[in-house]
Amino acid sequence: MRHTPMYHAVILAAGVGSRLRPLTDSKPKCLVKINGQSILQYQIDTLKGQDEISQLSVVTGYQGEMLRDEIEGMDLGFVVELVHNEDYDRTNNMFSLNLALEKVSSDDSLLLMNGDVICDKRIIDGILKSGGKDLIAVDRGVYLEESMKVCGSPRVLTNISKSISESNAYGVSIDIYSFSPKSWQSLENKMASIINQGEVNKWVEVAINDLLQDASYPAAPYDLKGKPWCEIDTLADLEVAETLFKKETGMESIASRKAYVFDLDGTLILGDEAIQGARELVKFLENREKDVIVVTNNSSRGIDETQQKVSKLLGIEISEENVFSSTHSTIQHIKERGFAKVYPVGTKSFVSDLLAHEIEVGDSNPDAVVIAFDTELNYEKIRAASLLIRKGTPFIATHADKICPTSEGFIPDAGSILALFTAATGRNPNRILGKPSPEFIHNIAESRNLRIEDFAVIGDRLHTDIKMGLDAGCVTAIVLSGDTRTADLSKSTYLPDYAFCHVGEMLDYLLEFYKGEM
C-alpha cells in the first residue's frame, strides 16, 4: 500500500509560440533558451530528484521531432513519454491534455504545467509535498491583464478566467496545477464532453473553471510567497525571465565585484529586524575583503542613528564612512547652492543633522524649503512650508520614494509628503536628491578610488535602486523582500541583472559559486 501520493507530471508543449518569432521560426517555444538553457530544461530541472514523480508526459506538436531529439537520452530518474498532438495548429491545450491523460494511472495524482512557464524549484517542491492536494499555484495579490486570474479565499478557489476584474481577483494563476486522482478524472470527463461537442480550441482553464464552480475540483491556492516565476509569451517576457533566473546559470558577474552597495529598508532590514541572511551575507563579503556600503533614501533617521541601527540589527560594526543617506546628498546640495538658511519639513533628527553641518533653520526668510521623510509631520509644518513655497521660495526634497516598507506594511514616505505640497501649491520641487541619482555611486567610487564597474547595487526598488545602478553602469540585483514583486518586472523599464527572493538567497548562490575555493 502506497502512503506517499505519486504524481504523473504533464508538460503541455504543443503550441507554436508565434509571439516569440523569429526565435520560434524553426524550434518549439519550449526550446527557446534563457541564459543558455531551454525553457524545457528549466522545467525538467524542477522535477529532477523529486521522489513523488512517477512519470512525465510531454505533449508535443509544432516541431515535435526536434523536441523528441532534445528529450531522448535524458537521465531523469523517472519514465518520460512523449504524446504527439498532430492537430496542434487547430486545437488548444485542452485537446493536448486530453490526449496525455490516457497515459496517467488512475491511482496517480496529476501535476500539470504549461510548457512556457518557469518557476522557482521550491514552488514545485511545496506542491509535491502537499500530499496530493488539489492546488493551483497562485501569485496572490497580483493582477496581470494577460494571465489567468482566480477568485476565492486562502481555503478554496471558485473561479479561474482571464476576464476576472482586478477588484474580484485573489491573484493570478501561474499555470501550474495539482489534481487528486478523483479531480483529474472529473477534469477528463469535463474536457471530453466539451471536445465531443466540437470545441477543440479551448483552454484547459475553461474546464477547470466549470469544476471549481461545481466543487468537483475543490482546489486551494498554493501561495508563492514571493518566489519567482515567469510565463514566456513575448520577447519582453524573455528578458524578464533572464533576469529572474540568471542566478541559476551564472553568478560570476556579481560575484566578481569589489564593492557592494546595499539599500537598507526592504533589503537588509525591515522595521526593527534584519532580513533573513542579511547579517551572514555582509559577514561573508567582508571576510572576502569586499567593500560593503549601505545607501538609503530614508531621511527620517539621523546620520548617526542610521549607522548605529544598521550595526545593531546586523550585529556587525558598520563604520560611518560606509553608510550614506539622502540626508548626505541634501546637505551637500545645500552647501553647493550656498543656502545659509532653510525651512525643513523633517524629523528632529534630520534638523539636528542640518544644524551639525552649520545650516541655519527657520521659517523667517529662508533660502529654501527642504522636504524630508517626516514621521513627525504636523499641520503647522505643512502650513508654514506651503506659504513659503507659494511665495516663490525654492524647495527641494531629500528623495521621492512614495512608500516605505516596514514590518507592519507600507507607510507614506517623502514622495507622498511631497505630493501634498505639489497639490497645495501647484509647484514641483526645484530638485529631488537621493536615489536614483547616479551621483550617489560616483561619489562613493571617487572616495574609494574604485571604478564604477567594480560595483554591484542591490536593492528592493526598481525605480530607485536599480535605476541608480543601471544609470551609473553597475551590475544590479533586485530583492523581492520589500517594494518589488515578480510581476512588477514585466511592467518596468529598469530590468536588473539578477533577482533574488531576499539577500539570504543571494548568499546561498554566492556560497555555491565559491564552494570550490572553500
- In 204-251, the DSSP E strands lie at 220-223, 229-231
Specify whether 67 is located in the same domain as 125. Answer: yes
pLDDT at 348 over 50: yes
pLDDT in tens, 56-72: 999 988 888 888 888 87
pLDDT at 282 over 80: yes
Show the domain range for 470.
250-297+436-517
Specify whether 440 is located in the same domain as 423. Answer: no
Tell me, yes or no, whether 187 lies in a domain: yes
Specify whether 187 is located in the same domain as 275. Answer: no
% pLDDT > 70, the chain: 98
The per-residue pLDDT for 516 is 58
* Three cell numbers written together for 11: 508538460
The per-residue pLDDT for 373 is 95
The per-residue pLDDT for 3 is 57
Helix, coil or strand: residue 367: coil
The per-residue pLDDT for 444 is 86
Specify whether 33 is located in the same domain as 166. Answer: yes
The per-residue pLDDT for 9 is 92
Q: What is the mean pLDDT of residues 24-39?
A: 86
Number of structural domains found in the chain: 3
- Amino acid identity, position 325: S
* Three cell numbers written together for 108: 496517480
Rounded to whole angstroms, the Cα distance separating 236 from 245 reads 15
pLDDT in tens, 427-482: 999 999 988 988 888 888 888 889 999 999 999 999 999 999 999 999 999 999 88
pLDDT at 73 over 70: no
Please state whether the peptide bond connecting residue 22 to the residue before it is cis, i.e. omega within 30 degrees of 0: yes
Q: Residue 292 is part of a domain; what is its CATH number?
A: 3.40.50.1000
pLDDT at 1 over 50: no
* Three cell numbers written together for 13: 508543449
Is-contact 185 102, C-beta < 8 A? no
Residue ending a domain, among 432, 463, 488, is: 432
The pTM score is: 0.77
Specify whether 56 is located in the same domain as 192. Answer: yes
pLDDT at 517 over 70: no
pLDDT at 487 over 90: no
pLDDT at 35 over 90: no
Specify whether 39 is located in the same domain as 180. Answer: yes
Angle at 347 between CA 424 and CA 323, to 5 degrees: 115
Q: What is the mean pLDDT of residues 94-99?
A: 90
Is-contact 282 314, C-beta < 8 A? yes
Q: What is the mean pLDDT of residues 384-405?
A: 93
% pLDDT > 90, the chain: 52
User: What mean pLDDT is reported for the chain?
Assistant: 89
Specify whether 69 is located in the same domain as 207. Answer: yes
